[in-house]
Amino acid sequence: MNSGVKFSIVGCGRIGFRHAEHITNQAELSAVCDIDKNALKKMKDKYPDVKVYDNIDSMLDDDKDSQVVNICTPNGLHAEHTIKALKKGKHVVCEKPMALTVKDAQRMNDAAKNERKHLFIVKQNRFNPPVQELRKAIDNGKIGKIYSVQLNCFWNRNEQYYEESPWKGKKDLDGGILFTQFSHFIDLLYWFIGDVRDVKVISKNYNHKGFIEFGDTLVAIMEFESGAVATMNCTINSFQRNMEGSLTIFGEKGTVKIGGQYLNVLEYQKFADYYIENPKECRPANDYGYYHGSMSNHDKIIENVIDVLTNNGKIATNGFEGMKTVEIIEKIYSKINCI
């Protein structure tokens, strides 16, 4: 069903195609933009009616139809492209991570406020059924005071992955594994527990020397403003494939673990007076050929945008929450090797 809302996309890589698929299922795709002519051709071949541009300024000046611009460009360009679109009177859907610095994230939020436009941040793992059920349990007080958390992110990203996209692995455009691979997990730490007060970190680059400019492994100990503590173990060195993306919470009234490869399985639970019925089955992860990303819930993102614009709905993840993820990651990276 076409909602009547019109979108455009900046960035026609794999994630741009993912956005295009779900936009065209629910709304209308008006225009796309990419500096890569081959990427534009592929998008035009799949969506013949879409207008194509090789310059974001040209698209924003010319495309008067779209109400929403989806930013699917390299991480380090999100702030620049988002602010340009907002200043042209467009609502914006920005892929994760929102930005690579809190300063840039604040600039984006300020632009949205000044232009009176909505800023949506893509955090599709919030829509995973086990994640939704755990949030409900926390909100209803069923886990009580949260004491501690264990976060594990064991994925594989090999040399081919970085060679395919020149921006990946670069500090100024990629930012690091917490931004590109694991920002969804950091988002859930904030969503479930709140602000981080202090952190101690060790990071190493064991297996990606010469083709990434940051660590491929990171271990952190965090203390939250609530008093809860967390340990986090993240790596892209899992041998040949992704193995685990899990979050275990220990509280005064319960213990629960969401695991699987992508926070897609309720692995165990024990509450004083509560039970999470088996959540409905998760969708498959985003399949990018020889590797997989987080869960494929981008249709829920587009649904949320349409609901906000047509029914005065509530934004699933707003710019402030997106900035909080950046704030935590920035704090972690600022403390590397401080243990």
| pLDDT at res. 46 | 97
- DSSP-assigned letter for residue 216: S
Q: 303-319 burial string, b = 16+ CB within 10 Å, else e?
A: bbbbebbeeeeebbbbb
Tokens standing for 301? Answer: 């993102």
Rounded (to 5) percent helix, strand, coil in the chain = 35, 25, 35
| pLDDT at res. 339 | 76
Question: Model-level pTM?
Answer: 0.94
Domains detected in the chain: 6-121 (3.40.50.720), 126-291 (3.30.360.10)
Alpha helices (runs of H) in the chain, residue ranges in sequence order: 14-26, 37-46, 56-62, 78-87, 102-115, 129-139, 159-164, 177-180, 183-193, 298-311, 319-334
| pLDDT at res. 146 | 98
Q: What is the pLDDT along the chain (339 residues), one digit of tens a residue?
A: 677 899 999 999 999 999 999 999 999 999 999 999 999 999 999 999 999 999 999 999 999 999 999 999 999 999 999 999 999 999 999 999 999 999 999 999 999 999 999 999 999 999 999 999 999 999 999 999 999 999 999 999 999 999 999 999 999 999 999 999 999 999 999 999 999 999 999 999 999 999 999 999 999 999 999 999 999 999 999 999 999 999 999 999 999 999 998 899 999 999 999 999 977 666 565 565 655 555 679 999 999 999 999 999 999 999 999 999 999 999 999 999 887
| pLDDT at res. 281 | 61
| pLDDT at res. 282 | 60
Residue 282 · residue 264 · CB < 8 Å: yes
Residue 120 · residue 316 · CB < 8 Å: yes
| pLDDT at res. 287 | 60
Alpha helices (runs of H) in 221-281, residue ranges in sequence order: none
